[in-house]
Every structure is written in structure tokens, then in C-alpha cells.
Structure 1
Amino acid sequence: MNLDLLDKVLGVSGGISWVVSYVFYRLYRSRTDTARQVKNIPIWEPGEDLLSHLTNDGNLAYAAVEGVVKELNRTLHSRHGNNEGVIMETQLIEHKSQRINGFWSDVKKVLRDTTEYVPFALKPVKDSGTDGNKHVVEVLDPGQAARLRDELETTHDSFEPHRSSLVQIGIDRLFGEVSKGLQESEKMLLTGTSLLGVGKVFLERGQIKMAPPDDLSRTYILTKMRLSELVRHYEAQSSMYKVIALLSALIGGGILSIIVWRQTRAWLERRKQRIQFEDIRRAMAEAAERRRVHISVARNRNSEEAEIDNTCVVCLTNQRQVVALNCGHISLCADCAEALHFPKKCPVCRAAVVRFMPIFHA
């Protein structure tokens, strides 16, 4: 199979479309499975009922717990206010303008990105405070939970413009990089935040704990959403990823169909020309046989020069035997005409060759 540049570009594009389709199909299956798994799981609140169930019936392999964030040992204090929380994410980002291929574009450079965790638990929404930590659910490995970073509350976000002299600005623009300023942001999971946890719930040394499920096909989730909202969220994502996967698959299939159509058309054209050249050779062989019977060959200098002038422009050995249509140039022998790359072009004027016709020398 001979692939030209366009076929190669189409092949790469089709391959990328299939890869994108597969990636979004996996995302679609993941979101669909998560929505199905979460939809009918039991919902518990930290308290005596949950403790009694775990004591009598054992661990909950996959369950939901609704409660309020409570610190266990210490809290994290905001650097820009009086907020207290159990997770704090800080970022320092430098904003720049860079000249790329003659065009100015805004770029970001992360100078600092840190996340701090302290142990925390979920306590009952209506907490009397008399049982201490007995009825709270300690949350383990929160960094592995899906959606948690999306639930952090922004407690600080400021932008400090970069101040430079006109001379420095001119130098920066000359070198193609201008600093616009620094953005500092802080996000926290505040104590007292209502949170829904979905994962494995178990009892360890009399303390209720939540951790990532043992079954890796199940998703560990910490979110501010209610369970019904969470299910709708994953179902909406599933539908969106399904549409993207189908569109990518259709695009890939369409590109594959174009390649097959182009290659089939080229194969039919080559087959047609092969049959054509077989007819040309047959006719020329018959003409040569008739010449040998009726004509005696006499060579002289003029005839030798004429023979040289009549040689194929490609191989410079055989006589010119075919005429290229529609341009009409007689410059090739049959072998070289057949060997031209498809689509065939006249070697004299580079015009597209519709077909070749044999010529006969007297």
C-alpha cells in the first residue's frame, strides 16, 4: 500500500481520534459505574447507630457518611485572616506575556504550590458535644479522595502588579518576556463545613474510620454535595463523555473510510493502467515483428543520431514508445511510463496523465 502525504496525515488524524474516543469512553464508563455504585448505597450519620452496626455486623465495604468537619488534634490557620481549617492549599503564580512565533501570549509560571493536611473527622450535624470523639468518623487519606480539591473554599486571592521602569519594560519587550505580576491564592477546607464522605467505613480500636475502598473500581469521594446531587453530577459527566467518545469514534471512522476510498481508487487506477500497458506492449511487439519482416535495417550516422534523439528521456536507452494524454508529449518508453509514481505526471510539462497511447515507428 503506497501512502502519500495526505493519506499519512489522515491516518495520524484518524489514530488520534480513536485514542481520544478510547480515553473518553474510559471516562464515560468510570463516571457511569461511579453513579451506579453511589446511587443506592446506605447513608449514615456519625453516631450511636453507625457504631452499633459496625460493632455487630462488621465493616461497611462502601457507604456514605454525612457530617460536619471537625479537627482532631490541631487546625490550620489562614495566613490572611481568622479562618481555621483542616486542609490548606496555597499557590504563588507569576503571570507573564511571552512572544511566541511573533505573537504575544499570556503564560503562567507556578512558583509555589503546597497543600497541607491535618487529621480531621466528620461529626454529627447536631452534635451535643458530650461524647467527645467517640461518635465521629475519622477521615483517612483525604488526598486520595475525588472532588475534594474542588470543594476547597477560597480564603485569599490577590494580584500584585509588577512595577518596572520604562527602560526595563523596553528591554523586556525586546527579549520577548514581560512580567505582569504575582498572584497569591489560598484555599481551605474549613472546620464546620458540611461534608459527604463515600468510602469504606470500619471500626478500629473503638474508633469509627473512613478510608479508600478495598475494591479499586469504587471511587473514594469527599464532597459538599448531597448524595442525590453527586449522582446527578456523575450522570451528567457520563453523558457528556459518551457524546465526545461517540463523536471522536465517528470522526475516526470517517477518516478511515476516506483513506480506504482513496486507496481503493488508486488501486483501481493502477490496475487500469497495468492492463493498458499490457495492451501497449502487445501492440508494439506486433508492430516490431512486422517491421522485421518487411524492412531491412540500414544504419548510418544520420540514423544513429536520429535514434539517439528518439530515446526515452528517463532511461536514455529505449526508444520513445508512448504518447502522454492529454498534453501530447512523446518522451517515454513503455517501461518508464509504467514505472512512474502514481498519480502519473508527464516528465516534460508535469501535467497529469489521463492515459498513455502507443506510437509506432516506421
Structure 2
Amino acid sequence: MSADTVDKVLGVAGGVSWVISYIFYRLFRNRIETARQVRNIPIYEPSKELHSHLSDNGPLAYAAVEGVVNELNRALISRHGNNEGVIRESQLIEHKSQRINGFWSNVKKVLKDTTEYVPFSISPSRGDDHGYKVEVLDPGQAARLRAELDITHEKFEPHKSSFMQIGIDRLFGEVSKGLEESEKMLLSGTSIIGVGKVFLERGQMKIAPPDEENRTYILTKMRLSELVRHYEKQSSMYKIIAVVTALIGGGLISVIIWRQTKVFWERRKQRLQFEEIRRTLADAAERRRAGNTETGGAGENSEPETDNACVVCLSNPRQVVALSCGHIALCTNCAEALPLPKMCPVCRANVERFLPVFHP
């Protein structure tokens, strides 16, 4: 792999690391801000007092409502029991073993993933104020909710195959292990906290996603203090990932800068070296011409002998010796034009330096 390719790979990797760092930084900021907002919001129960507050003071831009889940019209019935709820999530997953690059790995293929909702509300947990309730709007947009659904059914059915079929599957690199069927529900009567915008609409209390994008709509079975700790823990994890990936990206970019700086100084050193070689050869040629003039000898032949021509350009005489291999094969221009790291064109050995060659 060439040096330029290495630098490009390092640059791309550094850029990707910084992009990942930025993404996790945004997640960190979101979680820490959500924890701060949730920690300071007021908590209400569906009651006459809340209804009166909304009537007199208008909507609550960001508040928490605590109560129990209650369906408004009808409830969803579990397909595998008598459980009733307002959200039902069904999944059918095929488990397989696949041969990838010579190794067997477990993979999952989702064959079915459906989520059903029915209108529901947050109702008072106590018997008083039973007529007051807060209808939940757009529950699908709420954070935390799907992660906290109760498992009402879970079954794994192993795949039954003959030995011949198993052998054929292994030959083709894919073996089915079985089907996993699961059902999760938000059950009626579950204690829940909703965090969002609380307002009145046609005399009915409702909770919906906040108007401000930096505020998170939440439906959770956690207590408010637990929710704050959860977001603080998430923010700490995202912060660590953001810092680590930023340091990795910075380290990769620093390696590129160091490599480019090293190449720059090496090229500068080479340029100064060949300038010195050219001056030395020019001085030697001048002295040789002066000596020929004094002795009346023939002038210097501008055409190099065939056996003394540079092996690269085949036009200039050989002017430098490569150390440490000792081969005299190049003119000054071709020696300087060799890419870094310089290698002898005769034996391919690394060249530590070039020295001028003086021909008689």
C-alpha cells in the first residue's frame, strides 16, 4: 500500500471518527438536557385541580402527568391469553446460522413486526376524581414506551429437519434454527408517567409531544427520579464515547500531519542534497574544462558513452552513487525524481543517500 493510500485511509477513518463523535455528542447533549428538564418539571395527577389550572392559565408547555393506563373505547386483547391493553407489539423472528468468511454466525431475520394502538388515557390511580383523565396523543412518538412493554407471550419453535436436509443446509452455508414468536403489551391499569405538553381541547385534558424540538416526549413506567437517573447514565455513556472517538479521530489526523511533515522535511533534505551534488559536479566540470584548455586537450564530450548512460533516462551520464549498495546507475535528475522511499533501480535496495561521482 502506497504512502498516499495510507494517508487517505487514515484521513477517511479520522473523519468518520469525528462524525461519530459529533453524533454521540449530540446524543449526550440531548440526554443531559432531558434529564435537567425532567428534574425540574411539575408533576400532576388527572384531577379537578389540573383541569382548573389548564382552564385558568392555559396549556402547560412541559409537564408530567402520573396515573394509570385506561382505554378510552375498547381494549386490545392478547392473542395468547386474556390480557387487555392499549398497545400490542407482535414479532416473528427466524433464527439462523450462516457461514460468513468460513465462520458460523447466528443471525436473525424479522419476518413480522407489527404494533397496534388504541386510544387511551392516563387516569387517576385513586378512586376520587375518577371522572378526570388525560388522553394520550401520538403515543408512537414517545420515547421509552416500546422498551418497557410487558411480555405477554414468548415462544421458540425449533426447526425440524431431516439429517439429509441439515447436511444440505450446512453445505450451502445457511441452517435454520427455528422461529421465535413474541408479544408485548402496555396493559390496562399499568402505572405510567407522561411527560409532554398538557392542554385542554373541547374541555378534555390531553397530553401530546411538546412544541419545542429540544424537549422530549416521554411515556414511561419509571418513577420521575428513576427517569432522571436513566438519562444521566445515558448521557455519561454517550459523553465517554464522544470523547474517545474524538481522540481517535484526532490521533489519526495527527498521524497524517506527522507523516506529511516527515515527507516535507525529507524532500527538503533531498532537495538540498541534490543542490549540493549539482554544485559539486558543476565545479568539477569547470575545473576539468579549465584543465583541458590549459593542456590543449579536446573539449568535454556532450554525449555520454553508451555504457555510462543513466539507466533511467539513457541520455545523461551517470553522476551519483547510491549508498549503501554502491551502484552507479543514475544521473542527478533521475536520482532526485525517484519516489520516496528511494530505492536503487539496479538492486531495489533502500538508498540512504547519494554521493557525486567524478569521471576523469
Normalising to structure 2: TM-score of the pair? 0.95
Aligned to 2:319: 321
Residue 59 of structure 1 is matched in structure 2 by 59
Mean CA deviation greater in 318-327 or 189-198: 318-327
Which structure 2 segments of 5+ residues have no match? none
Moved more, 168-177 or 64-73: 168-177
CA–CA distance in 2 between the matches of 1:278 and 1:298?
25
* Alignment-derived partner of residue 181 in structure 1: 178
CA distance in 1, matches of 2:99, 2:192: 45
AA in 1 matched with 2:319: Q
The superposition leaves residues 180-226 of structure 1 with CA deviations (integer Å, 9 ceiling, x where unpaired) of 11110100000000000000000111110000011111100000111
Other-structure match for 2:31:
31
1:262 equivalenced with 2:259 (yes/no): yes
How far 1:292 sits from its partner (Å)?
Answer: 2.6
The answer to whether residue 136 in structure 2 is matched with residue 139 in structure 1 is: yes
Contact 2:48 2:129 in 1 (8 A): no
Could you tell me which residue of structure 2 aligns to residue 227 of structure 1?
Answer: 224
| 1:288 Cα deviation after fit | 1.7
CA distance in 1, matches of 2:298, 2:113: 92
Out of 278, 283, 300, which is 1:281 matched to? 278
1:202 equivalent in alignment to 2:195: no
How far does residue 255 in structure 1 lie from its aligned partner after superposition? Answer: 1.7
Q: 1:108 to 1:322 in 2, by over 3 A?
A: same
Deviation at 1:293, TM superposition (A): 3.0
Q: Which amino acid aligns with 2:321?
A: V
**1:237-316 aligned within 5 A:** 237-295=234-292, 296-297=297-298, 307-316=305-314
Structure 2 partner of 1:343? 341
Query: In 2, distance between residues paired with 1:14 and 1:280?
Result: 40
Q: Which residue of 2 aligns with 1:77?
A: 77
Match of 1:215 in 2: 212
Structure 2 Cα separation of the partners of residues 130 and 139 of structure 1: 16
* 1:129 Cα deviation from its structure 2 partner: 7.7
Deviation at 1:291, TM superposition (A): 2.5
1:4 is paired with a residue of what secondary structure?
A: helix
Length, aligned pairs only: 354
Looking at structure 1, the residues matched to 300 and 269 of structure 2 have their Cα atoms a distance apart, in angstroms, of 38
Paired amino acid for 2:7: D
SS of 1:347's equivalent? coil
Name which of structure 1's ranges 8-17 and 195-204 shifts more when overlaid on structure 2: 8-17
**1 CA distance for matches of 2:299 and 2:204?**
114
| SS at 1:258 equivalent | helix
What's the TM-score, normalizing by structure 1? 0.94
SS of the equivalent of 2:326 reads coil
CA deviation string 1:57-91 (max 9, x = no partner): 11111100000000000111111111110000000
Q: CA deviation at 1:6?
A: 2.3
Greater mean alpha carbon deviation, residues 67-76 or residues 169-178: 169-178
CA RMSD of aligned residues (A): 1.7
User: Letter of the aligned partner of 1:344 in structure 2?
Assistant: K
Asked if 1:159 corresponds to 2:156, the answer is: yes
Q: Which amino acid aligns with 1:40?
A: N
Alpha-carbon shift at residue 34 of structure 1 (Å): 0.7
Give 3-state SS (helix, strand or coil) of 1:259's partner. helix
Alpha-carbon offset, residue 130 of structure 1: 5.6
Give the Cα separation in 2 of the matches to 1:173 and 1:280. 68
Tell me, in whole angstroms, the C-alpha distance in 1 between the residues paired with 2:244 and 2:103.
32
Amino acid at match of 1:340: L
Please say if 1:45 is aligned against 2:45: yes
Corresponding letter in the other structure for 1:112: K
Q: Which piece of structure 1 moves more, 97-106 or 190-199?
A: 97-106
Distance 1:213 1:130, change over 3 A: closer
Give the deviation of 1:297 after TM superposition. Answer: 4.2
Sort the Cα spacing of 1:338 and 1:130 in 2 relative to 1 into closer, same or farther, 3 A.
closer
Q: Which runs of 5+ in 1 are unaligned?
A: none
2:47–2:129 contact (8 Å) kept in structure 1: no
SS at match of 1:249: helix
Q: CA deviation at 1:99?
A: 1.2
Counterpart of 2:243, as a letter, is L
Q: What residue is the counterpart of 1:68 in the other structure?
A: 68
Q: 1:96-134: per-residue Cα shift (whole Å, max 9, x none)?
A: 111111111111111000000000000011134863xxx
Please say which of residues 116-125 and 103-112 is displaced more in the overlay.
103-112
